[in-house]
Structure 1
Amino acid sequence: MKKILLAATITSAFTAFTTSAFNDEAPAVYEDTSVEMETRVKDLVSRMTLEEKIGQMYNDAPAIERLNVPAYDYWNEALHGVARAGKATVFPQAIGLAAMWDDEMLYSVATAISDEARAKYHFYQRENIRYRYTGLTFWSPNINIFRDPRWGRGQETYGEDPFLTGELGVAFIDGLQGDNPDYLKTAATAKHFAVHNGPEISRHSDNYVVSDKDLYETYLPAFKKAVVDADVEAVMCAYNRVNDLPACGSDKLLKEVLRGEYEFDGHVMSDCGAIRDFYDPEAHNVVEAPAAAAAWAVKSGTDLNCGTGALSTFANLGFAVQKGLIDESLIDQAVERLFMTRFKLGMFDNANDTEYAAIPMEVVGSDSHLKLTEAASASSLVLLKNNGLLPMARDKKVAVIGPNANNEDVLLGNYNGIPINPITPLQGLEAHLGKSNVSYSPGSAIIDDIYGHAEILDSRVLFHRKDDGSMAKGLTGKYYSLKQGQISDYSNLTFPVHASDQPKLTRIDKALDFYFDRSPIDQQVLGNFGVIWEGFLKPERNGTYQFDSDAEININGNTVTGTIELEAGKAYPISISMQFADNKISNTSAITRKQFSVRWVNTTEALKRQAVDIANKADVIVAVMGITPRIEGEEMPVKLDGFNYGDRTDIDLPDEQKALLKALKKTGKPIVLVNFSGSAMALNWSDENLDAIVQAFYPGEATGSALAKLLYGDINPSGRLPVTFYRNLNGFADFDDYAMDNRTYRYYTGDVLYPFGHGLDYSDVTYSNLEAPSTLQSGEPLSITVTLENSSDFAAEQVTQVYVKMPDAPIRVPRVALKAFSKEPVEAGSSETITLTVDADELTYVNDSGESVAYTGSLHVFVGDGQPAHTPKTKIQHAVVNIAR
């Protein structure tokens, strides 16, 4: 987006500002909207005491009532939809958005997200709610490079390529921040700066040693584009150390690169708890005192401390000033940067001054946004293999089998909102074909004791006793008011909560699946309350059951902590209790982050046998497998075979699912595998033995509808891989080795299963007539044209990729590197000639000192449907351009 245009400095106001001694009796220049923002901000900050200024450097900044500064929490998330703030349209996870290879659609997605963000913010403001996740400063996008397929948080990124990541990051930031010349729509944050992508288990203590060449060639380019091209408002520094220095205390990164080379003028925040890591004996442990850590971070350029459970290390800045560890002027500088963001967002102006305040709550989950998320989901699906099975005929009986077939988790990924209308693959196929044409079995667990088919406890098995002694469906819900007490145990920073003696509301609830946007007892927005549901549980089948809920569950008077054996038809007294109490320590609402539910699953069912039985009765099998964001993600308490605290130790399908696939193969029925994962999978057996494979990543709430349309040819696949799918991890360096040798398609020398940029479709688009100049002057952009011809009956959304090789570079350079791409419609039976431009800045290489050097010599240019080593000759064109000095 264009830089915020600030009004010219008004000389008279500036004179008054500089001579007023900045006392509280001086005119409130900061309240005068005719004065330029920088002057207003300086005036406001000058009126604060040291203690007040330091308080504004916490993510949950307190109010300063005497200056009419309201409390504000900077922490908010919008990775692929407004997250953790209740209901919101959930778009494909970031890795799926990258698989679209479509910066225009990504801009539309981000614009829809910022529409919903503005609507929610102003709604909460009207209710005087200032919890975390209700503001306008969004800690998205994550533009780290997905350099290793083991990283569990790779799902949050735009993949492994710096160019693709940078271009998509710019589009997303532009959509979040808007195009108003005077105000930001929201404030985007590029994270995590820098050299950050696992391992999760050791991120608080790791020191990543990286060469200047790899730093500038791989880890920094996307951040440069975010700052220079998109004018991103904020940057989050990372947990790890980089070349011995904590990223949030690195003068090299924050002063020399970010504010020096990139001329960044926004604010920098720490990742949450990262400043504590400076002195934590189990983390970096590079200083002994919190005050030293705080002073170090601020002097290096970290303006905001996200503290989480460690509260705020920056609370020690007063002591740091007192002892001379830091000058108060640097605190002024940090606070001014923070308030510039809030002023740009219009938080100290009349809300009517910006059109963004008029966006209504009705935009959240609107029809247009739900249509957009279905389009994005369809565009993100990548067809990896097809021997002719797809698109399928509609007159076939379909067996939908697999632990992710009816698993809502795989629609959402992590850092997600609560979906408006989630549609699982099973639901989508049933709606598309009719339930009578679809049979279903989960077939297996996802892995170990983690299941994807747990069901909501509802009136099929829940009963209560009526006054006349008869049994009726549902549980009796007794809703209580809550009163929060004072902490007495400071080893456990949780405020005690006391429920009222008598319920304020009693009702019958038929299903334990709720989103409470208002308290049922008084209709207060995000109000607190407690519930006890009582009645009887009557299972329909014998078995050993496992429950999934945050609630306390008692059956037959005993608290359920593991599995429990239950008999079919027997009525078990059941009590389920839950308190929805806000957390003052984290400044979070009890009910915004996720939907409350109680789910259960019978762990003793013969799932594989059931699956084979229904497969034998069907004409075709849709196997819906993969992993889930419950076992890959950010610093998770998951230690399973192949998974290590959110990361992966191998990239195969779990053994349970491989066994299921092999059993289904023996039926002789054609099989299409739909694989859900946020990371690359070694689908070697499936590639050799199955008829078709669709990589779904985590495609958003409209997954089921989009997938059904793709499988049956209502839409043509157009997704392309933003990461390489490897056959195994052989030849990979240790996970915490950050050298780029043999990593990503740019340097990997082994055989791959599916290359970066790969994706099939139902059309047949060929490339011809590449026109490129034979010579080019160094420092000039490269413009090329090429003709795309679609000889099929399917209209295509064709991704065209431009790669270059630099054989005359004097040092090691990438084997091949993406430098431009486009996504263009090509109608059936037609041709299109398109023009692509490679910017002069991309026709460079990085030397060993990290300097960008204009390339001269023979430049090999490849334009087509993928990388040159993996694309048929009819689908790619080659030219050689001589670049002269």
Structure 2
Amino acid sequence: MAPSSFFLAFFLLSCVSATDFPVYLNNFTYVCDPSRLSDLGLDVSNFVFCNKSLPLEARAKDLVDRMSLSEKTQQLGNSAAGVPRLGLPSYEWWSEALHGVTSSGRGTHFDQAVPGGTSFPTVILSAASFNASLWKNMGQVVSTEARALYNLGRAGLTYWSPNINVIRDPRWGRVMETPGEDPFVVGTYAVNYVRGLQDIEGQENPKDLNSRPLKVSSCCKHYAAYDVDHWYGVDRRGFDARVAEQDMLETFLRPFEMCVKEGDASCVMCSFNKINGIPACADPRLLKETIRGDWGLRGYIVSDCDSVQVIVENNKWLGDSPEGGVAQAMKAGLDLDCGWPYLSYYSNYTLNATKIGRIKEADIDKALINLYVLLMRVGYFDGSPSFKSLGKDDICADVHIELAAQAAREGIVLLKNDNATLPLSSNTFKNLALVGPHANATEVMIGNYAGPACRYISPIDGFSAFAKVQYAMGCADVACASGSLMTPAMDLAKNADATIIIVGLDLSIEAEGRDRVDFFLPGHQTHLVNEVANVAKGPVILVVMASGTIDISFAKDNPKIKAILWVGYPGQEGGRAIADVVYGKYNPGGKLPVTWYPADYVDQLPLTSMQLRPDDELGYPGRTYKFYNGSTVYPFGYGLSYTQFMHQITTKVNSIDVKLKSRQYCRDLSYEEGEYTTPQCAAVLVSDMSCDKQFEFEVDVEVRNTGSVDGSDVVIVYSRPPRGVARTHSKQVIGFERVFVPKGQTQNVKFVFNACKSLMVVERNGYSLLPSGIHSIIVNDDEASTPIQVNIH
């Protein structure tokens, strides 16, 4: 959504009654229900598109062929008008399910009968769990509630989630929506969450994947190189992301490729911004050639809302008219145009664009066939008997609420724990001072693209289960513009057995349409923390509720602050999860999915610079753990536990031998200046390799819990390229696994990697290459490592 209409849109929606939303009538079964069509005076036998024995594409073509040109154009926006004479009802494509079914968009609504759904933690916290099976389970719960809402006439079957943009710079306002800064981790999240939303058990791999039935449709967004919203006057509607092909392939496209090829996502949403001068939603290379051609998308491509309008009115792309903008987007491969709140350029201008010869009617037909095949796959035309029984009891079910709590627990990251202060004992720490602007947080815990939730368990609620709680805000709100409320908070801390200070950010600081300008706690929050810590009688635990990077070096270095937890925005059960961790009911095991930079990072490079690699001439330190060359407050992958783990690689990794075949050649590779021995054959082009099992290698990691507490450990495996390869990553994640290890015991984790993917580098010229030489396989923070030799001859 464009910022100029963002807040207006929310105002408009707040003024719209539930009856103004597209409602999928409670007695609506499915389009081709014979009794339904009979009630409309129609005979199902007359409609070939209702013949289930035919291929889906043939059925969709029959439906489209029956429409007039005018009727066709009214189906191309998110609020599709339907064709009553064919028994085709209106359909709202736009629903959201980022971390639960939400009221964002126009396709879903809640009311007194169904007041809310399960709201999981925002994505950045769930990502910190590094638990792929959790991500898939969350998707399964969300799709179950989505199906139940559909049956109740309150939702559609197409969900524009997840957001899988890599966090290039944590100043971006939408950090909470995404799985972190590593493209492989982000892509793995996408694959699992999408599979959870879409997959129907037992029907994951039919003979014809093009007709694979789906539980609901999932859409990976925002494609691509989108991570600037509104920063010092630079707005996403006009922003031109200048991206090197190397960065595009290595970082910005990789999660989307995984989402489509491994997750089998049925939709991709293109973004507002231009990329190297071309609007993303009008670039045939990005859409038609890459998503649909190279990656084989089985589904549809949709614009972020108003993107086609932005192409014409903001970007003034090619100086074109609205009809020309529509033609450019559709020819590039854009099937559906979202208009916010009610305007769709496709719906308004495609008819005339066809009449004046800017676009062929056959192009419209192709887009509509993609859309209707998808709706057939989700059961909109033929029904989905296996989900027919889902209803109100399947929304906010106890098992769903428990999973939301577990997701929050697993994501919480323990950043500091001096002298094993945590966990607190409920026998010793019976009187708590709970202070700070988020100490009584409720709705703030669910972030954006959320709610309403089933319920809200605030930190006060959570800690009250373990101790007597006394509460003082300390600040009037997150902005904490005044220190006038600090005295009551300090007075409580002077007498409490322990003091919990909960600070952070909220949607007034970081949000869609609102990028950050610094990494500090707002207003007087830092002062509040220091003043309360100075007078506290018992240990002080700092809890940070925010999406990511905040420079809390002052607390990290303060000996009076014994422990620090990062809790993201922990969802509806957040207060319970935080208290469970503090009091040891759950042993934290989360790891940071983003680098926490020092405050002066924001002065070293602008948010609008898209490059990831350091630039010595400009003084840029690089971005993400893969390229950043400066100091950190906390590094990517950091996180403590109440126990201790030791890691050992127990397998000796064999060398990889690549024997060049005919028409397979050695490739040049850039090397740094220095005393590096350049191999006789520097590298081989990955696309020239078969990349089959002969290039696989195993890494077995032994995880030993040497402490006195059961706990979960996250094993992150990296690869490091041979020494001397120029301008490449320092290391890259190639695999990870969360594993539970009882105290005193050992678990073995087996990884299988393919050299083509796991040892690959992307050269400046855009080639993906497998370098020869000695690569390193590393576990966590260089705790264990083993070399692997690649020989190319």
Q: Same fold (TM over 0.5)?
A: yes
Q: How large is the RMSD of aligned CA atoms in angstroms?
A: 1.8
Aligned position for 2:11: none
Please give the residue correspondences for 1:197-276 in structure 2 after superposition, counting only pairs within 5 Å.
197-200=227-230, 202-276=235-309
Match of residue 646, structure 2, among 746, 752, 766: 766
Q: Is the 8 A contact 1:150 1:679 kept in 2?
A: no
Q: Which secondary structure does the structure 2 equivalent of 1:188 belong to?
A: strand
Match of residue 606, structure 2, among 719, 725, 734: 734
Residue identity in the other structure for 2:606? D
Q: Which secondary structure does the structure 2 equivalent of 1:820 belong to?
A: strand
Higher Cα Rg, which structure: 1
Alpha-carbon separation, structure 2, partners of 1:848 and 1:49? 50
Q: Which secondary structure does the structure 2 equivalent of 1:756 belong to?
A: coil
Match of residue 635, structure 2, among 735, 755, 777: 755
Aligned position for 1:189: 219
Alpha-carbon separation, structure 1, partners of 2:86 and 2:652? 62
Please give the residue correspondences for 1:703-722 in structure 2 after superposition, counting only pairs within 5 Å.
703-722=574-593
Aligned-residue offset at 1:843: 2.2
Alpha-carbon separation, structure 1, partners of 2:528 and 2:251? 40
Aligned position for 1:357: 388
Aligned-residue offset at 1:286: 4.2
Aligned-residue offset at 1:808: 5.0
Aligned-residue offset at 1:205: 0.2
Aligned position for 1:305: 337
Q: Unpaired runs of 5+ in structure 1?
A: 1-23, 451-602, 636-645, 869-875
Q: Is the 8 A contact 2:711 2:742 kept in 1?
A: yes
Alpha-carbon separation, structure 2, partners of 1:82 and 1:769? 42
Aligned position for 2:411: 380
- Give yes or no for the alignment of 1:103 onto 2:137: no
- Cα distance 1:799–1:375, how it changes in 2: closer, same or farther (>3 A)? same
Once structures 1 and 2 are overlaid, which stretch shifts more, 710-719 or 606-615? 606-615
- Give yes or no for the alignment of 1:702 onto 2:734: no
Aligned position for 1:777: 657
Aligned-residue offset at 1:393: 2.2
Please give the residue correspondences for 1:424-443 in structure 2 after superposition, counting only pairs within 5 Å.
424-433=458-467, 437-443=468-474
- Give yes or no for the alignment of 1:415 onto 2:449: yes
Aligned position for 1:688: 557
Aligned-residue offset at 1:818: 0.7
Q: Is the 8 A contact 1:234 1:266 kept in 2?
A: yes
Task: Tell me the alpha carbon deviations over residues 527-571 of structure 1, each in whole angstroms, 9 at most, x when there is no partner.
Answer: xxxxxxxxxxxxxxxxxxxxxxxxxxxxxxxxxxxxxxxxxxxxx
Aligned-residue offset at 1:785: 0.7
Alpha-carbon separation, structure 2, partners of 1:707 and 1:159? 21
Alpha-carbon separation, structure 2, partners of 1:827 and 1:360? 39
- Give yes or no for the alignment of 1:296 onto 2:328: yes
Task: Tell me the alpha carbon deviations over residues 459-482 of structure 1, each in whole angstroms, 9 at most, x when there is no partner.
Answer: xxxxxxxxxxxxxxxxxxxxxxxx
- Give yes or no for the alignment of 1:867 onto 2:773: no
Match of residue 844, structure 1, among 744, 760, 766: 760
Alpha-carbon separation, structure 1, partners of 2:161 and 2:215? 14
- Give yes or no for the alignment of 1:444 onto 2:475: yes
- Cα distance 1:251–1:119, how it changes in 2: closer, same or farther (>3 A)? same
Q: Unpaired runs of 5+ in structure 2?
A: 1-42, 104-108, 111-115, 204-211, 614-621, 659-690
- Cα distance 1:881–1:716, how it changes in 2: closer, same or farther (>3 A)? same
- Give yes or no for the alignment of 1:804 onto 2:709: no
Aligned position for 1:528: none
Q: Is the 8 A contact 2:466 2:583 kept in 1?
A: no
Aligned-residue offset at 1:628: 1.0
Task: Tell me the alpha carbon deviations over residues 159-203 of structure 1, each in whole angstroms, 9 at most, x when there is no partner.
Answer: 000010011110000000023534210100000010101133510
Alpha-carbon separation, structure 1, partners of 2:97 and 2:443? 18
Aligned-residue offset at 1:615: 1.0
Alpha-carbon separation, structure 1, partners of 2:706 and 2:46? 72
- Cα distance 1:717–1:448, how it changes in 2: closer, same or farther (>3 A)? closer
Q: Which secondary structure does the structure 1 equivalent of 2:593 belong to?
A: coil
Match of residue 69, structure 2, among 50, 68, 72: 50
Q: Which secondary structure does the structure 2 equivalent of 1:83 belong to?
A: coil
Q: Which secondary structure does the structure 2 equivalent of 1:836 belong to?
A: strand
Task: Tell me the alpha carbon deviations over residues 726-766 of structure 1, each in whole angstroms, 9 at most, x when there is no partner.
Answer: 11243642111111120000000000011101110001111
Please give the residue correspondences for 1:507-546 in structure 2 after superposition, counting only pairs within 5 Å.
none
Alpha-carbon separation, structure 2, partners of 1:97 and 1:53? 41
Aligned-residue offset at 1:340: 1.0
Aligned-residue offset at 1:26: 9.8
Aligned-residue offset at 1:207: 0.6
Q: Is the 8 A contact 1:239 1:246 kept in 2?
A: yes
Alpha-carbon separation, structure 2, partners of 1:57 and 1:257? 22
Q: Is the 8 A contact 1:776 1:883 kept in 2?
A: yes
Aligned-residue offset at 1:768: 2.3
Please give the residue correspondences for 1:804-823 in structure 2 after superposition, counting only pairs within 5 Å.
804-808=719-723, 810-823=725-738
Aligned position for 1:662: 530
Q: Is the 8 A contact 2:493 2:536 kept in 1?
A: no
Alpha-carbon separation, structure 2, partners of 1:652 and 1:384? 17
Between Structure 1 and Structure 2, which shows a larger proportion of helix residues?
A: 2
Task: Tell me the alpha carbon deviations over residues 774-821 of structure 1, each in whole angstroms, 9 at most, x when there is no partner.
Answer: 412354122111211112221111100101110257542101111100
- Give yes or no for the alignment of 1:157 onto 2:178: yes
Aligned position for 1:12: none
Residue identity in the other structure for 2:728? V
Aligned position for 1:793: 708
Task: Tell me the alpha carbon deviations over residues 330-371 of structure 1, each in whole angstroms, 9 at most, x when there is no partner.
Answer: 11111111111111011111x3x4302222221111010011
Alpha-carbon separation, structure 2, partners of 1:813 and 1:606? 51
Aligned position for 1:649: 517
Aligned position for 1:476: none
Task: Tell me the alpha carbon deviations over residues 650-669 of structure 1, each in whole angstroms, 9 at most, x when there is no partner.
Answer: 01111310110111122044
- Give yes or no for the alignment of 1:176 onto 2:47: no
Aligned residue-pair number: 676
Alpha-carbon separation, structure 1, partners of 2:770 and 2:633? 34
Q: Is the 8 A contact 1:447 1:656 kept in 2?
A: no
Residue identity in the other structure for 2:715? T
Aligned-residue offset at 1:432: 2.6
Aligned position for 1:551: none
- Cα distance 1:722–1:769, how it changes in 2: closer, same or farther (>3 A)? closer
Aligned-residue offset at 1:284: 4.8
Aligned-residue offset at 1:426: 1.3
Please give the residue correspondences for 1:78-97 in structure 2 after superposition, counting only pairs within 5 Å.
78-84=97-103, 85-86=109-110, 87-97=116-126
Alpha-carbon separation, structure 1, partners of 2:423 and 2:315? 52
Alpha-carbon separation, structure 2, partners of 1:185 and 1:354? 11
Match of residue 440, structure 2, among 400, 406, 412: 406
Aligned-residue offset at 1:769: 4.5
Match of residue 58, structure 2, among 24, 36, 39: 39
Task: Tell me the alpha carbon deviations over residues 431-481 of structure 1, each in whole angstroms, 9 at most, x when there is no partner.
Answer: 232xxx21110101344478xxxxxxxxxxxxxxxxxxxxxxxxxxxxxxx
Residue identity in the other structure for 2:737? S
Q: How high is the sequence identity, in percent, across the aligned residues?
A: 33
Alpha-carbon separation, structure 1, partners of 2:718 and 2:316? 40
Aligned-residue offset at 1:27: 4.3
Aligned position for 1:877: 784
Q: Is the 8 A contact 2:500 2:542 kept in 1?
A: yes
- Cα distance 1:336–1:809, how it changes in 2: closer, same or farther (>3 A)? farther
Alpha-carbon separation, structure 1, partners of 2:335 and 2:84? 22
Aligned-residue offset at 1:417: 1.6
Residue identity in the other structure for 1:79? L
